[in-house]
Amino acid sequence: MDKEYVGFAALPNQLHRKSVKKGFDFTLMVAGESGLGKSTLINSLFLTNLYEDRQVPDAGARTTQTLTIERRGVEIEEGGIKVKLTLVDTPGFGDSVDCSNCWLPVVRFIEEQFEQYLRDESGLNRKNIQDSRVHCCLYFISPFGRGLRPLDVAFLRAVHEKVNIIPVIGKADALMPRETQVLKQKIRDQLKEEEINIYQFPECDSDEDEEFKKQNEEMKGSIPFAVVGSCEVVRDGGTRPVRGRRYSWGTVEVENPHHCDFLNLRRMLVQTHLQDLKEVTHDLLYEGYRARCLQSLARPGARDRTSRSKLSRQSATEIPLPMLPLADTEKLIREKDEELRRMQEMLEKMQAQMQQSQAQSEQSDSL
């Protein structure tokens, strides 16, 4: 006798068809110092030219530039699947002589997206909520830095509870294979030491085949990904044309797994874990933000404190920012400046009051 068959085994197919119709949207943030090949890598990853007319500012302009957040959108279609990709760029990060707090605009941006979503979710018309939340942040680490630099640590600690971080070593063709291994291990050790939570690629399902499991383990082991990007196709004599960088001593092939981890990154980011990144953003990071928000609303005392000054807002959102140790006299000068400012405000208030009472008495006199 045939097993009884209800038919819900076909549900995944229905979901599949719906999602193909609906299309996917994904917001990817790239962050890191200038010159680490971020734009080239994005173009290589998605085989587009998102950064066509770039004007890179010179050192003079960069001295005065503050960090800006730039959004670029592109619609990519492949095999009938439509993806609306939004790229968030952070030009100016790490450029200035004084980079203190240069990560704050980024943190604010991520939180603003959460806030927008929270408002939309709590609103009346919830049919077409636009999800502009940042689903993933590719953080570029310099291959020269011998590990994470103080700025890297500060940035990662500020955003790791708000966005999925995938650390990436940029321009990895600067490193020989052994140097790459040493650097990766150093970064992994530092991430653990600083208690930074990067995106954890989930384990394979137990019903996948051995080959796939092995591949997955290998990919997980190669984090942070050491990548090389290129928008140029190199045509060497007899071999087929490849994307690469041609040097006098040889050619680096972007898609050669012995040369760099580009393929791994593309596979994990686009082919296998795009959906998971979105889910983790929604179920874990966004829910965390929402819980904190609701909690602060429930305690009005806490709310008042947050509106008073910038300093306490930072502590309310629990960002452990590393404060640089200032020289003692510098600290004293700053404290005195604060005091002076407060007294100035008090003075102005009192003056206003006195003028008001004077005006009132004049009025009463003239009546």
Partner 1 sequence: MSFFPDQQPTQFINPETPGYVGFANLPNQVHRKSVKKGFEFTLMVVGESGLGKSTLINSLFLTDLYPERIIPGAAEKIERTVQIEASTVEIEERGVKLRLTVVDTPGYGDAINCRDCFKTIISYIDEQFERYLHDESGLNRRHIIDNRVHCCFYFISPFGHGLKPLDVAFMKAIHNKVNIVPVIAKADTLTLKERERLKKRILDEIEEHSIKIYHLPDAESDEDEDFKEQTRLLKASIPFSVVGSNQLIEAKGKKVRGRLYPWGVVEVENPEHNDFLKLRTMLITHMQDLQEVTQDLHYENFRSERLKRGGRKVENEDMNKDQILLEKEAELRRMQEMIARMQAQMQMQMQGGDSDSGTLGHHV
Of the candidates 93, 137, 147, 223, which one interacts with partner 1 according to CB under 8 A?
147
Angle between helices 150-159 and 104-122 (to 10 degrees): 10
Q: Kindly state whether residue 95 participates in binding partner 1, applying the rule CB under 8 A.
A: yes
- Joined tokens for residue 131: 């999800």
Q: Which of residues 338-367 bind partner 1 (CB under 8 A)?
A: 339-340, 343-344, 346-347, 350-351, 353-354, 357-358, 361
CB of 224 to partner 1, least distance (A): 14
- Joined tokens for residue 146: 């011998």
Query: Three-class SS of residue 339?
Result: helix
Q: Which is nearer to partner 1, 116 or 256 (CB)?
A: 256
Contact predicate 324/197, CB 8 Å: no
Q: Which of residues 213-272 bind partner 1 (CB under 8 A)?
A: 245-253, 258-259
Q: Which is nearer to partner 1, 3 or 178 (CB)?
A: 178
**Distance separating alpha carbons of residues 189 and 125, to the nearest angstrom:** 47
**Residue span binding partner 1 (CB under 8 A) among the ranges 16-24, 45-53, 91-99, 283-291:** 91-99
* Residue 259 Cα distances to 24, 174, 244, 271, 305, angstroms: 31, 11, 10, 21, 53
Q: Which of residues 29-48 bind partner 1 (CB under 8 A)?
A: 33-37
- How many alpha carbons lie under 13 Å from residue 265 in its C-beta half-sphere? 29
Residue 9 C-alpha from the chain's centroid: 38
CB of 222 to partner 1, least distance (A): 15
**Distance separating alpha carbons of residues 170 and 227, to the nearest angstrom:** 6
**Residue span binding partner 1 (CB under 8 A) among the ranges 57-65, 105-113, 160-168, 200-208:** 57-65
Q: Which is nearer to partner 1, 38 or 133 (CB)?
A: 38
# residues near partner 1 by CB under 8 A: 71
Residues sharing a CB contact under 8 Å with residue 278, sequence separation 6 or more, in sequence order: 26, 135
DSSP string, 113-155: HHHHHHHHHHSS--TT-------EEEEEE-TTSSS--HHHHHH
**Residue span binding partner 1 (CB under 8 A) among the ranges 17-25, 105-113, 219-227, 333-341:** 333-341
Q: Which is nearer to partner 1, 303 or 336 (CB)?
A: 336
Q: Kindly state whether residue 89 participates in binding partner 1, applying the rule CB under 8 A.
A: no
Q: Kindly state whether residue 133 participates in binding partner 1, applying the rule CB under 8 A.
A: no
Q: Which is nearer to partner 1, 253 or 278 (CB)?
A: 253
Q: Which of residues 179-198 bind partner 1 (CB under 8 A)?
A: 190, 193-194
Q: Kindly state whether residue 337 participates in binding partner 1, applying the rule CB under 8 A.
A: yes
CB of 56 to partner 1, least distance (A): 4
Q: Phi/psi zone of residue 79: left (φ > 0), alpha (ψ -120 to 50 degrees), beta?
A: left
Query: Three-class SS of residue 239?
Result: coil
DSSP 317: T
CB of 3 to partner 1, least distance (A): 54
Per-residue interface string for the shown chain with partner 1, residues 265-304, x marking contact by CB under 8 A: ----------------------------------------
Residue 155 is which amino acid? F
